[in-house]
Amino acid sequence: MAGRTEAILARKGEIMKRALGMDYAQFERSPIAFDYEAMMAAHGYSLDEIIRIQLAGGVGKTPLLELRNLTDLIRSYAEPGHGARLFVKDEAANMAGSFKDRRASISIHAAKEKGYAGVIAATSGNYGAAVSSQAARASLNCIIVQEAFDSRHVGQPEIIEKSRICEAFGAEVVQLTVGPELFSHMLELLDETGYLAASLYSAFGISGIESLGWELAEEMTALTGAPPTHVVVTHAGGGNTTGTARGLRRAGATSTQVVSASVDLSGLHMASDTDFNRKSFTTGHTGFGVPFATWPDRADVPRNAARALRYMDRYLTVTQGEVFYVTEAMAKLEGLERGPSGNTAMAAAMSLARDLPRDATVVVQETEYTGAGKHHWAQLNFARANGVEVRAGDPTESVPGKSIVIPERPEQIRAKDFDLGKMRRSYVRNALAHAGEGYAPTSEDIEFLAADTHSDAESVEAIIAALKEA
């Protein structure tokens, strides 16, 4: 088995070059820098074309809803004059129930256009459903590779629900236990089938999300006379933040603050067999959010199109209990029963809106569908069954993997700012480590690092000097 894995990994470059439908080598500039915008434009689709492709696939033009009852609730405990207007983009209205349809639609369109017979994606989340659904509409074969179980063969209800949905759309689902063999298995399948790798992190996918940022800026301008002051984005691998922010910029919404949000799962290790089922959120948590923001090129493509740190103005974290509370509040006050990912941003947005003036406008840019294993009751039962304490109280007392504390009152929802300075330092350290010992960054590298960390050359140089001293 080890020999087989080594043999396939040795052929990684050759297999991925054919499977990705794009030669990434042409964008490389140095061991650190690459031409990001050239990579993003290489597929040749304009935003208008992307929107057209998506509408034909049943994707996009989702409702933008004002959440008046939640806004009133926030204003009831905010300081006088505070409590921003809250809006949500109901992305659950997409074909397979989330914004991931935008991401999948462009990869599937490219696969069809380039003559691939099918697509393969490695994902245990909504992206699998999105790829399967879009592939069905395009009459392409589809294989979804999931990390589904721990070594006891127990699976998160949300992931198991995802297997069912992908199969319902006609995809073949390969379920693996948590561990490093996911990538080598996917390589073998790509090699055997000759299908397109519909990576979550390709330029196709991320360009597909730009329509979401663009759409919401246009809709808010029509509704309120201006783009939103703040957009809150649930963040994991970084595509959601990246694509949305790029779309906002394309719509001219350059002063809109982009606020990423994740569930705080600090202390739990995503690749750990024992921690795997001790988290009640399979995405939108810091376990992906921090490592991907601080080193995006850890992905299954040579250069990740999702580069969240480039676009984040703030990064907020919330607790699992706060998200469960907000899930029920949304259903009971707004008639919207939706899944955990969008509600992560909603929990952060409730905290943010409380501190902003009343004329500020906060858009949560997605909802996701809920039901079966995704539902909060299924998640809470699973947490209890895995030894996690579930109780009402002060959410600051919660400990990821050990307890979920559901707030008793909405004013207990308080998001925390994650230190972006720390993330920038960590990103630069990772970039230097990957460039190799003794590599001296050029001025082009410094410029690239400044853009990739949403800072400036001076700050990057200061980080590099401090790292040298350490």
156 lies in the site for ligand PLP, by CB under 6 A: no
Of 126, 286, 294, 361, the one binding ligand PLP by CB under 6 A: 126
Contact region with ligand PLP (CB under 6 A), list: 143-151, 157-165, 238-246, 396-404: 238-246
Of 21, 60, 239, 401, the one binding ligand PLP by CB under 6 A: 239
| Closer Cβ to ligand PLP, 100 or 310, answer by number | 100
Encoded amino acid at 67, one letter:
L
Least distance (Å) from ligand PLP to the CB of residue 306? 6
Encoded amino acid at 358, one letter:
R
Least distance (Å) from ligand PLP to the CB of residue 315? 12
237 lies in the site for ligand PLP, by CB under 6 A: yes
210 lies in the site for ligand PLP, by CB under 6 A: no
Residues in contact with ligand PLP, counted by CB under 6 A, come to a total of: 17
Of 21, 83, 125, 155, the one binding ligand PLP by CB under 6 A: 125
| Closer Cβ to ligand PLP, 71 or 341, answer by number | 341
Of 57, 128, 238, 302, the one binding ligand PLP by CB under 6 A: 238
Of 124, 202, 283, 379, the one binding ligand PLP by CB under 6 A: 283
Least distance (Å) from ligand PLP to the CB of residue 242? 7
| Closer Cβ to ligand PLP, 116 or 281, answer by number | 281
Residue 87, beta-bridge partner list: 66, 363
294 lies in the site for ligand PLP, by CB under 6 A: no
Contact region with ligand PLP (CB under 6 A), list: 163-171, 223-231, 233-241, 316-324: 233-241
Report yes or no: 258 and 235 within 8 Å, Cβ to Cβ. no
Of 133, 240, 294, 379, the one binding ligand PLP by CB under 6 A: 240
From 199, 209, 123, select the one nearest 165 (Cα to Cα).
123
455 lies in the site for ligand PLP, by CB under 6 A: no
Of 148, 236, 251, 432, the one binding ligand PLP by CB under 6 A: 236
Q: What is the largest CA-CA distance in the chain?
A: 67
Interface map 297-326 toward ligand PLP (x if CB under 6 A): ---------x--------------------
Least distance (Å) from ligand PLP to the CB of residue 424? 18
| Closer Cβ to ligand PLP, 98 or 277, answer by number | 98
Contact region with ligand PLP (CB under 6 A), list: 237-245, 272-280, 316-324, 413-421: 237-245
- Separation of alpha carbons 330 and 322, rounded Å: 12
146 lies in the site for ligand PLP, by CB under 6 A: no
307, two tokens: 């580069």
373 lies in the site for ligand PLP, by CB under 6 A: no
| Closer Cβ to ligand PLP, 97 or 302, answer by number | 97
Contact region with ligand PLP (CB under 6 A), list: 169-177, 231-239, 398-406, 443-451: 231-239
Per residue, the 3-state secondary structure of the chain, as one string, reads CHHHHHHHHHCHHHHHHHHHCCCHHHHECCCCCECHHHHHHCCCCCHHHHHHHHHHCCCCCCCEEECHHHHHHHHHHCCCCECCEEEEECHHHCCCCCCHHHHHHHHHHHHHHCCCCEEEEECCCHHHHHHHHHHHHCCCEEEEEEEEECCCCCECHHHHHHHHHHHHCCCEEEEEECCCHHHHHHHHHHHHHCCEECCCCCHHHHHHHHHHHHHHHHHHHHHHCCCCCEEEEECCCCHHHHHHHHHHHHCCCCCCEEEEEEECCCCCCCCCCCCCCCCCCCCCEHHHHHHHHHCHHHCCCCCCCCCHHHCCCEEEEECHHHHHHHHHHHHHHHCCCCCHHHHHHHHHHHHHHHHCECCCEEEECCCCCCCHHHCHHHHHHHHHHCCCEEEEECHHHCCCCCEEEEECCHHHCCCEECCHHHHHHHHHHHHHHHHCCCCCCCHHHHHHHHHHCCCCHHHHHHHHHHHHHC
| Closer Cβ to ligand PLP, 342 or 395, answer by number | 342
98 lies in the site for ligand PLP, by CB under 6 A: yes
Cβ-based neighbours of 370, under 8 Å, separated by 6 or more:
92, 327, 337, 338, 339, 340, 376
Residues 330-349 that bind ligand PLP (CB under 6 A): 341
Residues 78-97 that bind ligand PLP (CB under 6 A): none
Report yes or no: 120 and 15 within 8 Å, Cβ to Cβ. no
| Closer Cβ to ligand PLP, 83 or 239, answer by number | 239
Of 43, 75, 230, 235, the one binding ligand PLP by CB under 6 A: 235
Q: Which residues bind ligand PLP (CB under 6 A)?
A: 98, 100, 125-126, 234-240, 283-284, 306, 341, 366, 368
